[in-house]
Amino acid sequence: MKTKHYIGLIIVLVGTNLVTFSITRHWMKQHVLTPAQERIDGYVKVSAQACLENLRQIDAAKEMWALENNKQKGDVPMESDLKKYIPRDVLLPGQSFPVCPLHGFYTIGPVGIDPTCSVPGHAISVTR
Ligand SMILES: [Zn+2]
User: Could you tell me if 101 and 50 are in contact, meaning their C-beta atoms sit under 8 angstroms apart?
Assistant: yes
For 54-106, how does the pLDDT look when each residue is reduced to its tens digit (9 = 90+)?
A: 999 999 999 999 999 999 999 999 999 999 999 988 888 888 999 999 999 99
Q: Report how far residue 128's alpha carbon sits from residue 46's, in angstroms, rounded to the nearest whole number.
A: 20
Ligand 1 centre to CA of 114 (Å) is 13
Q: Where exactly are the structural domains of the chain?
A: 2-117
Distance 103 CA to ligand 1 centre (A): 7
Cα–Cα distance, 27 to 53 (Å, whole number)? 38
- Tell me the CA–centroid distance for residue 69 and ligand 1, in Å: 28
58: CA distance to ligand 1 center in Å?
Answer: 12
Ligand 1: distance of its center to the CA of 96 in Å? 17
0.85 surpassed by pTM:
no
Provide the strand spans (E) within the chain: 106-107, 116-117
What residues contact residue 96 under an 8 Å CB cut-off, 6+ apart?
83, 86
